[in-house]
Amino acid sequence: MTGLSLPLQFRGGFTLPDARHGAYLQAVGGGHPVHSSRELALRAGFTDVPLAGIHVLGAAMAAFTAQFADNPVQLLKVETKFLRPAYPGESFELALERLDSEAVAGTSFVAGRYRGYCSNAQAHQVLMLDFKIRVAPAQD
């Protein structure tokens, strides 16, 4: 037994300001044009230039895994469903429930599966997440 216990629930928030959106686009070489052109975004039916879904997912996972900053973590599976657009400057609330957890035989890792939603400030669900992770005790 490792003594490590994964939390039953997680609640946390994050914001993706315009500057981070710009840095993301620069890092990925521009991404899809709808994420950088207001004109194209409006023609596509968005109210403004939307964030890339993978950017929102990455920020949500970073918010969750920050609690394990000193622990070895393995991300085993991620399933998502994008439910509505997210926009730069919005604040998001992440709410996750642990579905199961078990020690990984022969290792110091504990595995867990989480499911939940990332919602915007209007409490509209933007992203559904379902993922499996393994976490080991922090190394001294």
The arithmetic mean of pLDDT across residues 121-135, rounded, is 97
The arithmetic mean of pLDDT across residues 56-73, rounded, is 95
73-90 pLDDT, tens digit each: 999 999 999 999 999 999
pLDDT at 68 over 60: yes
pLDDT at 113 over 70: yes
Contact present, 60 and 130 (Cβ < 8 Å): no
Q: For a pLDDT cut of 90, what percent of the chain falls above it?
A: 86
List Cβ neighbours of 100 (8 Å cut-off, separation of 6 or more). Answer: 112, 113
| pLDDT at site 140 | 67
| pLDDT at site 3 | 75
Q: For residues 48 and 43, give the distance between their C-alpha atoms in angstroms, rounded to a whole number.
A: 10
pLDDT at 1 over 70: no
Contact present, 35 and 52 (Cβ < 8 Å): yes
Tokens encoding 130: 């379902």
Q: For residues 122 and 24, give the distance between their C-alpha atoms in angstroms, rounded to a whole number.
A: 24
| pLDDT at site 31 | 87
DSSP string spanning 11-50? EEEEE--HHHHHHHHHHTTT-SGGGT-HHHHHHTT-SSPP
Edge-to-edge strands of the sheet including 110-120?
A: 9-15, 91-103, 110-120, 125-135, 73-82
Q: For residues 114 and 99, give the distance between their C-alpha atoms in angstroms, rounded to a whole number.
A: 6
The arithmetic mean of pLDDT across residues 68-74, rounded, is 94
CATH numbers and ranges of domains, the chain: 9-135 (3.10.129.10)
Tokens encoding 119: 């919602």
2-61 pLDDT, tens digit each: 578 999 999 999 999 988 888 999 999 888 999 999 999 999 999 999 999 999 999 999
